């Protein structure tokens, strides 16, 4: 009985690992935000002078 | 069978020696023992009346055994070893040969004649020693005693006077074989008999009709001569002693309930009452006696209770309770146990404890002459759920230093619920205390296979990691970022927008920075921005590397690389914004940036493997704790008591 429970548990861990690796899950809460399109497309928005220079 | 007729020297009645080799016949008319001496007969004296036993056989019964010629029971010998009487029946075969059929405590043993090899004298025999008997094999001396010729009927193959003490040794061999060395009145062996336990069905015999009519374990009602309390003999003909449940007196069943010892009121409160009936191993047993025994080890007294079970056709068994742990105990043939390694049926048992077990209290009836204070040497060996026990009784009746009897028994652990159910006891069984010596471990048998399964699962996780690494880890952006000389980190020129970065599959994104810092640090405030949706994942990372030397030698700290993972990034077009900071005066010239998609992390694979292995580690720990508790009261504790504290 215990062995069966363990097999199920081990299979779940394996599946969880594969899914998390494929989906790219990470531990911890990511800091997520949103930049409106108006800001993204307006000059002086997040695309600075350096952006157009390719960072060089 | 040939016949020989003679006249009884005492009463002149006709005496028949039906078996050609018979040397003694009991005159059916006057009870004299008539011995053949060549062509003459001699009177060896009167034979006492038969001692009432629970025999189910009778002279004249006919049967057949294992293809041998038909036999008839032509003689009955009763032997008394001081603590009990048993019957030996002489089987006379149609071809003139003979054998013994021993009947004791409801069990039957066929014992045929066998060539006598050289064996030690009676005085040199040691109980427990092994003897090579030639063709029958190697046997263990189980008992060496003398017994008195108490009574007889019919004819016997030897001529000794009634009342003579006869020496014998019972041996136990492999495969349930038994042997008896007959020493007669001397010390040199005179005959060897080898056989095995048989049933009446094996012999083609049917029990006497009057036995058939007697319901199993129906008691004979008597009264205690001391307190007049009602007594019930539940094993008539088998019991030697009764401990009165009312006043505690120990009574001799064989001598009209003579009071042997006026004990105090019984102090035992049996969990299973006297007279209770219960079905165990497919047999309905009756509890006929209760005995409390103890063993003292290092000043500590360990008590347990033994319930004597009886069933007329199966004989006696024991139900043993120690600290609320229960066992069903069956007797073993000593020859089936190899005492050197305590092996039984090919399995080795581990020594648990040795001691001297003493009878403290008795209640009910017993098939031997039990007495309070009776002590036997005990050795217990365990292999859960079984316990192999050896009891050695030293003979105080002059046989010799190691004379007496050795008994082996096999106990099988019983859950309390099974006992309660078998005997229909009210309520529920009391909770067991600690771990029983042969209590099956709930973790045994689970640990090994779980380790194997965990190993397989861990390997599968590693293989999955390697497979995912081979498939993923695609570099989606690589860039050498140069910082203008003299630029301030707060200046817009210092901030980098890397990309466009195309992520084709959902997964994590690895951002790796390698900066040539030396005794300096570079901090980057980053954001991965989806150009299509505006979703932004923010992160930060720091490259920090310091080194030098001091009185202890050279040292280094940190690294010139830093890595961050952005979780669950959907497919799309991205920009990576990196805004740096650095220590004043330590402006880096630039850094290398590498962005990869779907990078499996070994640390997570390791975490998954540890999660899988945690189970067998936990099971092993629980198994270990269970075994430590089991062995804590043995002669071989796994940890000392000081360590446990």
Residues B47 and B180 in one domain: yes
Kindly report, residue by residue over B547-585, the tens digit of the pLDDT: 999 888 899 999 999 999 999 999 999 999 899 988 888
Question: What pLDDT was estimated at residue B264?
Answer: 65
| Cβ-nearest to A13 among B482, B496, B612 | B612
Task: Say which DSSP state B277 is in.
Answer: E
- Let me know whether B181 and B195 are in one domain: yes
Supply the pLDDT for residue B263: 62
Return the pLDDT at B214: 42
Domain-located, residue B45:
yes
Q: Do the Cβ atoms of B615 and A30 come within 8 Å?
A: no
pLDDT, tens digit, 9 for 90 and up, residues B494-505:
888 887 899 998
pLDDT band per the 50, 70, 90 thresholds, residue B603:
very high
A-side interface with B, Cβ within 8 Å?
A: 2-3, 6-7, 9-11, 13-14, 16-18, 20-26, 30-37, 40, 46-51, 55-56
Same domain, B370 and B317: yes
And the tokens for B365? 């009836």
B153-177: pLDDT as tens digits: 999 998 888 899 999 999 988 777 8
Terminal Cα-to-Cα distance of chain A (whole angstroms): 64
Distance from CA of A6 to the nearest CA of B (A): 7
Shared domain for B265 and B292, answered yes or no, is yes
Position A43 scores a pLDDT of 57
Chain A residues inside the 8 Å CB shell of B612? 9-10, 13-14
More confident residue, B536 or B237: B536
Q: What is the mean pLDDT of residues B403-420?
A: 90
Is position B441 within any domain?
Answer: no
- Residues of chain B positioned with their CB less than 8 A from the CB of A29: none
Residue B499 shares a structural domain with residue B565:
yes
Q: What is the 3-state secondary structure (H, E, C) of B82-126?
A: CCCEEEEEEEEECCCCEEEEEEECCEEEEEEEECCCCCCCHHHCC
Decide which of B178, B211, B244 is a domain's last residue. Answer: B211
Choose among B196, B190, B193, B142: nearest CA to B167. Answer: B190
What are B557's two structure tokens? 């700290």
Map B575-606 to HEC letters.
EEEEEEEECCCCCCCEEEEEEEECCCCHHHHH
Our CA-based measurement puts residue A42 at a distance from the nearest CA of chain B, in whole angstroms, of 13
> What single-letter DSSP state applies at residue B486?
T
Q: Is the pLDDT reported for residue B644 higher than 60?
A: no
pLDDT, chain B, mean: 86
Over residues B228-256, the mean pLDDT reads 75
Beta bridge partners of B258: B252
List the one residue out of B492, B581, B563, B497 whose CA is nearest residue B531. Answer: B497
Enter the tokens of residue B316: 């006696």
pLDDT of residue A49: 40
* Category of B548 on φ-ψ map: left (φ > 0), alpha (ψ -120 to 50) or beta: left
Positive/negative CA dihedral, B337, B340, B342, B343: negative
Residue of B467, B525, B577, B622 for testing the chain A interface, max A β-carbons within 10 Å? B577
Mean pLDDT for all residues in chain A? 72
Q: Are residues B189 and B243 in the same domain?
A: no
- Domain of B609, in residue numbers: 447-469+604-644
Stretch A14-34: mean pLDDT, rounded? Answer: 85
The tens digit of pLDDT for each residue in A10-22 reads 999 999 999 999 8
* Structural domain ending residue among the three candidates B582, B599, B616: B599
Q: Which of chain A's residues have a Cβ under 8 Å away from the Cβ of B573?
A: none
Q: Which residues of B touch A46 (CB under 8 A)?
A: 497, 529, 575, 577
pLDDT value for A37: 67
Helix ranges, chain A (H): 2-23, 37-41, 49-52
Predicted local confidence at residue B173, as pLDDT: 84
Model ipTM? 0.77
pLDDT at residue B35 is higher than 70: yes
Q: How confident is the model at residue B339 (pLDDT cuts 50, 70, 90)?
A: low
Segment B105-113 shows an average pLDDT of 86
pLDDT-based confidence at residue B216 (cuts at 50, 70, 90): very low
Domain residue spans in chain A? 1-25
* Least confidently predicted of B135-139, B264-268, B286-290: B264-268
Cα distances from B571 to residues B235, B444, B567, in angstroms, run 88, 50, 12
- Do both B479 and B459 map to the same domain? no
Is B303 contained in some domain? yes
pLDDT of amino acid B222: 75
Q: Do A2 and B619 touch (CB under 8 A)?
A: yes
Q: What is the pLDDT of residue A1?
A: 73
DSSP B143-183: EEEEEEEEEEEEEESS---TT-EEEEEEEE-GGGEEEEEEE
Instruction: Return d(Cα B213, Cα B204) in angstroms, integer.
Output: 19
Distance from CA of B569 to the nearest CA of A (A): 7
User: In a 3-state reduction of DSSP, which class is residue B626?
Assistant: helix
Say yes or no to pLDDT of B482 above 90: no
Contact B112, B194 (CB under 8 A): yes
**Residue B258, pLDDT score:** 67
Q: What is the mean pLDDT of residues A11-35?
A: 85
- Residues B191 and B288 occupy one common structural domain: no
Same-domain pairing of B262 and B136:
no
**pTM for this model (two decimals):** 0.70
State how far the Cα of B496 lies from the Cα of B499, in Å rounded to an integer: 10
Question: CB distance A3–B537 less than 8 Å?
Answer: no
Confidence of residue B314 (pLDDT cuts 50, 70, 90): confident
Q: Read off the pLDDT of each residue in B446-465 and give the average, rounded to a whole number.
A: 91
Does residue B100 belong to any structural domain of this protein?
yes
B513, B600, B613, B614, best to mutate vs chain A, most A CBs in 10 Å: B600
Q: What is the pLDDT of residue B113?
A: 92
> B583 and B493 in one domain?
yes
Are A13 and B457 within 8 A, CB to CB? yes
Which helix (H) or strand (E) segment holds residue B140: the answer is strand B138-156
Query: Of B292, B430, B308, which is closest to residue B374 (Cα–Cα)?
Result: B292
- B191 and B274 housed in the same domain: no
C-beta separation of B125 from B144 below 8 A:
yes
Interface contact B508-A56, CB threshold 8 A: no
What is chain B's alpha carbon radius of gyration, rounded to the nearest angstrom? 42
With contacts defined as CB-CB under 8 Å, which chain A residues touch B610?
none
Query: How many structural domains is chain B composed of?
Result: 4
User: B587: domain CATH number?
Assistant: 2.60.120.380
**Does one domain contain both B628 and B499?**
no
């Amino acid at each position: 009985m215990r062995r069966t429970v363990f097999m199920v548990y081990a299979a779940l861990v394996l599946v969880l690992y594969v899914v998390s690796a494929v989906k790219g899950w990470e531990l911890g809460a990511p800091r997520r935000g949103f930049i409106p399109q108006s800001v993204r497309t307006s000059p002086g928005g997040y695309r600075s002078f350096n952006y157009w220079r390719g960072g060089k | 069978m040939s016949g020989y007729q003679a006249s009884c020297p005492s009463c002149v009645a006709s005496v028949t020696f039906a078996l050609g080799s018979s040397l003694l016949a009991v005159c059916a008319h006057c009870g004299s023992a008539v011995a053949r001496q060549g062509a003459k007969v001699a009177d060896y004296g009167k034979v006492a009346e038969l001692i009432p036993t629970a025999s189910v056989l009778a002279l004249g019964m006919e049967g057949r055994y294992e293809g041998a010629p038909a036999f008839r029971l032509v003689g009955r010998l009763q032997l008394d070893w001081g603590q009990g009487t048993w019957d030996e029946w002489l089987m006379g075969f149609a071809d003139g040969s003979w054998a013994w059929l021993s009947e004791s405590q409801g069990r039957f043993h066929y014992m045929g004649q066998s060539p006598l090899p050289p064996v030690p004298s009676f005085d040199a025999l040691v109980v427990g020693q092994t003897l090579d008997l030639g063709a029958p094999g190697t046997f263990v001396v189980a008992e060496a005693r003398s017994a008195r010729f108490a009574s007889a009927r019919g004819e016997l193959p030897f001529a000794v006077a009634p009342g003579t003490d006869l020496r014998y040794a019972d041996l136990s061999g492999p495969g349930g074989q038994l042997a008896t060395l007959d020493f007669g009145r001397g010390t040199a062996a005179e005959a060897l008999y080898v056989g095995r336990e048989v049933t009446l069905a094996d012999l083609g015999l049917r029990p006497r009709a009057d036995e058939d009519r007697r319901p199993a374990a129906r008691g004979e009602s008597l009264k205690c001569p001391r307190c007049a309390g009602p007594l019930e003999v539940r094993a008539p003909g088998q019991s030697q002693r009764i401990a009165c449940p009312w006043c505690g007196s120990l009574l001799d069943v064989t001598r009209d309930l003579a009071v042997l010892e006026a004990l105090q009121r019984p102090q035992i409160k049996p969990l299973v009452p006297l007279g209770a009936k219960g079905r165990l191993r497919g047999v309905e047993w009756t509890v006929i006696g209760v005995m409390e025994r103890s063993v003292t080890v290092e000043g500590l007294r360990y008590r347990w209770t033994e319930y004597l079970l009886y069933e007329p056709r199966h004989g006696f068994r024991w139900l043993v309770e120690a600290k609320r742990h229960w066992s069903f105990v069956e007797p073993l043939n000593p020859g089936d146990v190899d005492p050197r390694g305590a092996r039984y049926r090919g399995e080795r048992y581990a020594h648990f404890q040795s001691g001297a077990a003493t009878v403290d209290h008795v209640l009910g009836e017993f098939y031997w002459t039990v007495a309070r204070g009776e002590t036997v040497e005990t050795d217990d060996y365990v292999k859960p759920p079984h316990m192999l026990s050896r009891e050695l009784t030293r003979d105080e009746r002059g046989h010799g230093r190691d004379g007496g009897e050795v008994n082996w028994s096999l106990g099988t652990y019983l859950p309390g619920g099974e006992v309660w159910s078998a005997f229909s006891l009210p309520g529920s069984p009391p909770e067991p205390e600690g771990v029983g010596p042969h209590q099956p471990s709930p973790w045994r048998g689970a640990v090994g296979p779980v380790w194997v399964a965990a190993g397989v699962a861990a390997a599968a996780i590693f293989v999955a990691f390697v497979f995912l690494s081979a498939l993923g880890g695609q570099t989606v952006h690589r860039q050498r970022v140069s910082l203008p000389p003299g630029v301030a980190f707060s200046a817009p020129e210092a901030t980098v927008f890397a990309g466009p970065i195309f992520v084709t599959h959902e997964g994590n994104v690895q951002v790796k920075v390698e900066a040539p810092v030396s005794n300096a640090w570079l901090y980057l405030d980053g954001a991965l921005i989806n150009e299509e949706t505006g979703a932004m994942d923010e992160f930060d990372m720091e490259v920090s590397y310091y080194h030098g030397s001091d009185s202890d030698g050279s040292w280094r700290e940190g690294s010139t690389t830093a890595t961050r993972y952005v979780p669950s990034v959907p497919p799309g077009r991205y920009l990576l914004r990196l805004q740096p900071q650095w220590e004043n005066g330590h402006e880096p010239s630039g850094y290398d940036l590498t962005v990869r998609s779907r990078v499996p992390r070994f640390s997570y694979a390791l975490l998954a493997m540890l999660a899988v292995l945690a189970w067998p580690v936990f099971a092993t720990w629980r198994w270990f704790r269970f075994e430590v508790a089991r062995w804590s009261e043995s002669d071989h504790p796994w940890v000392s008591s000081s360590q446990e504290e």
